[in-house]
Chains A and B, each alone.
Chain A
């Protein structure tokens, strides 16, 4: 187990190292000179040179990379070109929004995915199973921004016209300020992200439930007189969930991508919106900070999932 863990952590560090190298290379690929950008249009060459020196851009590349990584290890991601704020502070102020979106959506999609998957598997080829298939195929093909727009039109706009003002059309209220408003503002984004992502889980749960339900121990459980509900929930679902857990780790990178798009549709002031705005502002340090932060999350989450997987399935530990 320890060896397994060490190997996973080392691989995680490798990924993060590659991310820093790639991101740093992008810095140097940039055709825009950040010093000129900060100094402004009217700056004299002397001012630009002074700014460049201040930013340390006149030092050799490897020294710059070294100090970049050194600062990174100390949690310092530099300053935003566009907003006069440290990147770390900026990211931390946006993190709660993206975290709320991602976590809420994750709960919802696991419920939808596993729920529908089990329903479909319990009676294969039934009407429910076919309905689940149509559901999965539709949302698998539906880009999140399109689904978001459709939901906005139907559940926000049309319902508002009909006098039902339950769903919010965008924006964000912090959880600490108004928990109910927080949930209300996030409900449509959650549904959007959850529906799109749940498809994989329906498929996985259905497949592995079908396998498990054919096992001998399920027949044993039934024959000793256990109720069908107990057999399915307690006996079958537990072992059927192993592939679901793995998929959860794999999906995190996709989830963050989906979160960026969803934030854009619903005007949520999260990390995704910040990074898209930073493209317009040519604010490279912010984008790089976001990439590194997300990469860190993905790596940590993948390690956690692998550990969880090893706990659930002893064969992984031994191999």
Chain B
């Protein structure tokens, strides 16, 4: 009796499903793997939190009563004109102009997340389009596009950005354009490689033999097979874009002052870190934890979608 119990328990579990075998597709399996990944849950929680902060930045300004660009030269600076540390009025302290660091960090989240999402989204789209063309049409198209990607990948990108900014002047759309221009090529390469093997598969041949057009084959037969890879790449491109944008702003090539942005706040903090640690700590922590969260999530998504694949950061 005792030995038979586990078997019975198993049968009962099957019966509870109503005798049917529930089919679980690859996406469902990936989702379940992701849901069990505690690091992924924590990372998602942080991303949701920072997104709420970004959306609610005006609310933060309202609650503290400090608009992001308002300068409090009496209360926000010491007698010597040095930023004041965290206190009741300024929870995260103030910067060199007596502005509220908390409010500015909250507003900075808007730019970082916006650029992260928009730039990586566009880069992935361009990468898919170019990669699919190169991989599917092959021959001269492939050679041309692949060489183009190689050239972009061996460009000194930050310097090129510097040259462009000198000519055009710094702005947020330019930053996004630069990030997209230099981020799509790796995606394009991966997509090309996948399409190269997919186009030889029987289902593509079948589609072609019933007279499907190239566009239809690409969109209906090939694209869905790339989805997993694309999602992984998109998640991992977000932190890269955020860091790239912060780097541009840090060098004074991104957003224009007085816009609150993490990179440009840290650039100012270079001159003040000895007297105002909070000026480095809070924007720095916001930037670090945001990129960290996206990297952890991207790594977990990769693992959930392709458990046999190599993880970027191996955990136990």
Point out residues on A near B: beta carbons under 8 Å. Answer: 11, 14-15, 18-19, 22-23, 26, 29-32, 124-125, 129-130, 133, 136-138, 140-143, 145-146, 149-150, 152-153, 157, 203, 206-207, 250, 253, 256-257, 260-261, 264-265, 275-276, 278-280, 282-284, 287-288, 290-291, 294-295, 298-299, 302
Contact call B292/A149, Cβ cutoff below 8 A: no
Q: A203-B312, A256-B158, A302-B154 are in contact. Are A146 and B287 (CB under 8 A)?
A: yes
Partner of A279, one of B166, B277, B315: B166
Contact stretch, chosen from B14-22, B190-198, B244-252: B244-252
Chain B contact residue count (CB 8 A cutoff): 48
Point out residues on B near A: beta carbons under 8 Å. Answer: 147, 150-151, 153-160, 162-168, 239, 243, 246-247, 250-253, 263, 266-267, 269-270, 273-274, 277, 280, 284, 287-288, 291-292, 295-296, 310, 312-316
- B153, B166, B263: residue with the most chain A Cβ atoms closer than 10 Å: B166
Q: Residues of A contacting B270 with CB < 8 Å?
A: 149, 264-265
Contact call B253/A279, Cβ cutoff below 8 A: yes
CA distance A31 to B160 in the complex (A): 17
Q: Residues of B contacting A290 with CB < 8 Å?
A: 159, 162
Q: Residues of B contacting A141 with CB < 8 Å?
A: 239, 288, 291-292, 295
Q: Residues of B contacting A294 with CB < 8 Å?
A: 156, 159
Q: A153-B277, A253-B154, A275-B162 are in contact. Are A137 and B295 (CB under 8 A)?
A: yes
Separation in Å of the B150 CB from the closest CB of chain A? 7
Contact call A287/B162, Cβ cutoff below 8 A: yes
Partner of A260, one of B155, B159, B246: B159
CA distance A162 to B243 in the complex (A): 33
Contact call B167/A261, Cβ cutoff below 8 A: no
User: Can you show 5 pairs from A to B with CB atoms below 8 A apart?
Assistant: A145-B246, A203-B312, A250-B153, A261-B251, A291-B159
Main secondary structure of the interface of B (DSSP, over half): helix
CA distance A111 to B158 in the complex (A): 26
User: Across the two chains, which residue of chain B brings its CB closest to A161?
Assistant: B274
CA distance A152 to B267 in the complex (A): 13
Q: Residues of B contacting A152 with CB < 8 Å?
A: 273
Separation in Å of the B240 CB from the closest CB of chain A? 10
Q: A125-B316, A264-B250 are in contact. Are A287 and B287 (CB under 8 A)?
A: no
Contact call A133/B314, Cβ cutoff below 8 A: yes
Q: Residues of B contacting A140 with CB < 8 Å?
A: 295, 312-313
Q: Residues of A contacting B287 with CB < 8 Å?
A: 143, 146
Partner of A275, one of B157, B159, B164, B239: B159
Q: Residues of B contacting A288 with CB < 8 Å?
A: 163
CA distance A145 to B147 in the complex (A): 33
Partner of A291, one of B156, B246, B251, B313: B156
CA distance A141 to B269 in the complex (A): 20
CA distance A11 to B267 in the complex (A): 38
Q: A257-B156, A290-B159 are in contact. Are A149 and B266 (CB under 8 A)?
A: yes
Partner of B168, one of A18, A29, A125, A133: A29
Partner of B313, one of A14, A15, A136, A261: A136
CA distance A257 to B162 in the complex (A): 11
Q: A137-B313, A142-B288, A265-B270 are in contact. Are A276 and B162 (CB under 8 A)?
A: yes
Partner of B266, one of A146, A157, A302: A146
User: Across the two chains, which residue of chain A brings its CB closest to B158?
Assistant: A257
Contact call A146/B156, Cβ cutoff below 8 A: no
Q: Residues of A contacting B164 with CB < 8 Å?
A: 26
Q: Residues of B contacting A207 with CB < 8 Å?
A: 310
Q: Residues of B contacting A15 with CB < 8 Å?
A: 150-151, 154-155
Can you add 19 more A-B contacts, CB < 8 Å, to A11-B147, A283-B166?
A15-B150, A26-B163, A133-B314, A137-B295, A137-B313, A141-B239, A141-B291, A143-B247, A149-B280, A206-B314, A207-B310, A250-B153, A264-B267, A264-B270, A290-B159, A290-B162, A291-B156, A291-B160, A291-B162
User: Across the two chains, which residue of chain B brings its CB closest to A282?
Assistant: B166
